[in-house]
Amino acid sequence: MSKINFKIATPERVVYKDEVDQITVPTMSGEITILPNHIPLISVLNSGEIIVKKGEELISMAVSGGFIEVLSEKVVVLADTAEKSDEIDLKRAEEAIARAEELKSKRDVDTREFAGLTASIQKELARVRVGRKHVERVEKRGAVPKYKK
């Protein structure tokens, strides 16, 4: 079976780069799964989870917007932010949600600030969902997640 050359990068770093079997991404039109020889596509990403399948391994990443370009054997994601599930600090993400929700609830927040806070909350919620899934998978295997050590 053929593979997909996959790369996900942010302005700061390359988060992941490898030959993979399939990629599932959150787009503005909904979630899509890309297999080898997919039709060419360019799309805007939503905040959410990217799931990469490589053999039997599933690699999960939180992403907060960006773009995806799909070619027949190559997929590139340029993300605003992205983290692999094992890099996510759940406590920090949950605290960021609480701070943003508190600021958003103030009466003197203008429209622009409100939109920014809403985007921040969506980003952190995606991080929390992906991070919690990772913790559940690790605990099912009987290991201790990094944040509990």
Domains of the chain: which residue ranges? 4-84, 88-148
| Spatial distance between the Cα atoms of 26 and 9, rounded to a whole number of angstroms | 16
Distances, alpha carbon 81 to alpha carbons 30, 123, 128, in Å: 19, 9, 14
Q: Is the pTM of this model over 0.75?
A: no
In the predicted structure, residue 149 carries a pLDDT above the cut 60? no
Short-list 50, 40, 95, 46, CA closest to 70: 40
Mean pLDDT score, 23-48 = 93
The pLDDT mean for the chain works out to 83
**CATH code of the domain made up of 4-84:** 2.60.15.10
Query: pLDDT tens for residues 38-94?
Result: 999 999 999 889 999 999 988 999 898 899 999 978 999 999 989 888 887 777 777
Angle of helix 90-104 relative to helix 111-140, nearest 10 degrees, comes to 160
